[in-house]
Amino acid sequence: MLNNLHAEEMDKLKVSKSKFARFQPGDAIDITWRFCRSDPRPFKDRGIVIKQTKKGLNSSVTIRNVAYGDAYERTYMYNSPLVENIQIYQKAFVHDGKKRVRRAKLYYLRDKELEHSTVSKKGLYSNKVLEEEGVTDDDTTKEDPEGREDN
């Protein structure tokens, strides 16, 4: 009886949740979610996938990122009505997009420095790399979309 109900629910969810992108551990993803169904504004969270479980209705993904100098991990259920969208920010983020990760669970990122698990608007570049290239924070944040200069 329960197996029949579980199979029916999975059939319904395959149609509605097929819009999510396929990703694997080591990819950087963006998740759009709501705190509760009545909340008018969605939240966006970005991080590295460190764990992915595929157990039918109980499938989930755990992401890791750094905010204000502290690392955090957050687990999202795929089939939750609060998760609106999952998009790939960058494939193979852990190895700078050069090769895929050969582990299913990336718990070793917990022991590394915070720079290794930081996903920011600048992408792969840390502040040290930007300084070596001669790019300042003002150059990356104050871009005019029309290309005009301020006089």
Domains of the chain (ranges; CATH) run 20-136 (2.30.30.790)
Half-sphere exposure of residue 93: CA atoms within 13 angstroms, side-chain side = 32
Question: Measured between alpha carbons, how far is residue 110 from residues 17, 89, 126 in Å?
Answer: 30, 21, 18
Share of the chain above pLDDT 70, in %: 75
Can you tell me the mean pLDDT for 95-120? Answer: 86
Q: What is the pLDDT of residues 55-65, one digit of tens each?
A: 878 889 999 99
- Residue 116, pLDDT > 70, answer yes
Which residues are within 8 A (CB) of 99 and not within 5 positions of it... i.e. 6 or more apart?
92
pLDDT tens profile 11-30: 776 655 566 888 999 999 99
Using CB atoms within 10 Å of the CB of residue 47, give its burial: 0 to 12 exposed, 13 to 18 middle, 19+ buried: buried
**pTM for the structure as a whole:** 0.70
pLDDT at 128 over 50: no
Written as one letter, the residue type at 9 is E
pLDDT of 51-95, one tens digit each? Answer: 999 887 888 999 999 988 899 999 999 888 899 999 999 888 888
The answer to whether 84 touches 17, Cβ cutoff 8 Å, is no
Residue 48 vs residue 132, higher pLDDT: 48
